[in-house]
Structure 1
């Protein structure tokens, strides 16, 4: 059991008021709030060990380097990567996906295929479209059904030896759908196809085991798991990272430079050009420590309770429709909904006046909205520091908004 009030006390922002009302923060799928231990760790870095990392002989540089590399090992252990050098620091999920897609430009030819799913965030669509435009490869799409779930039989039909890489999210940001990534990976590997998993929406709720999944790449963002913005991780199997060329050139990623030829550093530095977000990388480890102290099993159980309660309460509202899986066992703590023909933006604006933060629009997933023939949805996304009382406040606010807009 989680001590929710104690946990909420860890997050300074949750005690404030918005528009004169207590803040109810239900935009966790966009970014999570930060506990005091994370905020303090950022300050501590800049007050105590601020220095550039690697190669420095002075004390501060050594302390900063040690802290940065300790964080890398923490993340390695958290996701169960085989080697710490398979863990690359990035600025976020989008950066990680672009790094891999850029690298695959040297591996693809005309006639090859790249596969994504109909449930993807734009950041897991556009880089692959750009890659196909550069290489002459073809983009194929795993279709979805009316429940917002991938049609696995159609995926099997699309998959062939031409498919060189599949990029699919672990959990849909727009609908909360949990995809059958283990089955997708197993099937893909029968054809020698690489698989990249977008874990931006899964890592706040579950601990990914990259070796058990056997994925080739796994990417996620720090800001969604109580860490700083501008941080993220790309996990890649050693064999694949060695196949890909560097994404950027500059300092740190080199072994030797002459005007005639440059040789590149070993992993992970080959992909970490320039001065990184040192404080962010260190504090991302702090955030992961915090979440592990809370406990991911307890987090998952409690957030599922919130999902069940929120679904039941919101469906009391006449004309309200929830998009996504009917079975809550195949869904994480996201409720994406509309009420009748009222535009989601209008409800979101009124709800905000009551101190409740929800996300409205297409959630960077326009193909999903086009499938349902809607302009967007209202998305309430819950975290382990939310409460059922806050859900009650949301339901009351939506009811008031509907009355005002009808």
Structure 2
């Protein structure tokens, strides 16, 4: 990755490289956790943690995936407060440690057969801890990178946080392919634990990188001049609630990602497509997105935030609809084509643009809090989208509700994008300044 981040060799360059690397690995851990939990909830946890629920076991298992999204807004307020009051670095070190420990402990959990209903209760608790930490992870990484990045290259450098997200999802999928091919006795006894225990490697790397981070000059200047808000959430709700609502609506486009990464995996497996094939599609799609994100960042720095965001939102939804048609037809080449095109190309664009655009719309004093709260409330629907699609789609037999959800968020986020302020040419000292009706 270091070879791809090119900028003049300066002290600022070293800081932004470190921030980008930290964002890459932290985001990789967050979404590696996201993918392995989503895969396990779709394929394994129903049998291990909800064996007495019969046909509803998969629905209950997938619902635990969404539980983390309930905790994310609370984490957003907590980590946003720490990040805006005491420093971006401190918040990011704490979030990565908490997330890594929770994921590792899931891999050690006893199942329902061993301790009864205490097993799913512990699973839900650790999933809530994951959500609490995730509430500050990517918002903090992107806010810090935006503040470190040179003018005119903010989206490019911030895109590496999104590349890390896609890498984490792709790696989680790749890890689950050989796991899914294990004999049932091995899969349901020890095999499913391996991806969770392996997350410890990401945790250590990301933690060590975070400890070396420096605070951006934006925060240092704000601290030295006594401009930090005593209660950032109060400032946000009083003075920037319109911006918060705007970013919230923009970020609902993340529904497309969870429908692809979780519901499509479950749907394909229920309709005759081997789990290994669906996991490979998820992996290849996200590897393509990892490469696409820096490209999308460069395009956004040159052309602006609005147009790429809208094109990606609409294009990804159309491709996901065609993906489900291909699944119904059992056409594996088309499944790969529309999966990779939908997630690897089109969906990568709005999430990359959003990672820069969202924090750019808030002032420094409440940027971390604003980015975190708006994003976590916006993606709350994403967490429950697979369960909604599963429940309204005749327990996963019909993909219509899934696509209706994707189409709805694509429409809403595109309309909001067209009326949102353009920020790609605004200098850092003027980002979020109230010269608009915010």
Larger radius of gyration: 1
More helix by share: 2
- Name which structure has the greater RCO, CA cutoff 8 Å, separation 6+: 2
Work out whether the TM-score is over 0.5. Answer: no
Give the TM-score, by structure 2 length: 0.27
